Amino acid sequence: DSGVVQSPRHIIKEKGGRSVLTCIPISGHSNVVWYQQTLGKELKFLIQHYEKVERDKGFLPSRFSVQQFDDYHSEMNMSALELEDSAMYFCASSLTNQAPLFGEGTRLSVL
Amino acid sequence: QQQVRQSPQSLTVWEGETAILNCSYENSAFDYFPWYQQFPGEGPALLISILSVSDKKEDGRFTIFFNKREKKLSLHIADSQPGDSATYFCAASAPGGYKVVFGSGTRLLVSP
């Protein structure tokens, strides 16, 4: 399968804990974007990297950081988790001027 | 501010009817408009897209109608099926850009 791969698919953490979400984009896609979605509602834009450089930041909490590596995969480091961080986190990748293609998402549950 | 607006928030149609989902935008620089379909528990999937040089794009039962002057577009789903029940997102991007702006989605329910 050559789609966007996210891991883990589901993770449960305690309030105040830490977590790392990983995104492997489609081969050759250097544009990687993260979104948060709660209860199947709107896609909240978190952050975008292009060619390993942060291009735009949206609603990414300061407790979270995102990095894109040489092979274009991306990791979201989440710390001091709060109950309201419980959501689906989607990663999408694309080439310039193309529609982003989404992964299956990671479901984060903070208890 | 909401650069891409969708209406209605939710829509129910009977099986076999045509569902019409609306989208409007503010930024005149937007020239590419993809639509996504999302089923519960899954990631949004690219369904169909249109460039602003066209006023219509068809793919099977799915058709986008685009009005550049009014900055509006709509997705028509002909002969709607229960399997079409999903949330549909309209999105937009500008030339040379790598950022896609999403609307807040329309939840479609097709009743048998």
Work out the end-to-end distance of chain B between its first and last CA atoms, rounded to an integer number of angstroms: 37
Distance from CA of A31 to the nearest CA of B (A): 7
Asked if pLDDT for residue A49 goes beyond 90, the answer is yes
**pLDDT tens track for B2-56:** 699 999 999 999 999 999 999 999 999 999 999 999 999 999 999 999 999 999 9
**pLDDT tens track for A10-28:** 999 999 999 999 999 999 9
Assigned token pair, A55? 């291009």
The kind and range of the H/E element at B72 are strand B72-77
Kindly determine whether residue A55 and residue B99, on different chains, have CB atoms separated by under 8 Å.
yes
Please give the pLDDT value at position B90: 97
**pLDDT tens track for A88-105:** 999 999 987 789 999 999
Closest chain B residue by Cα to residue A4:
B43
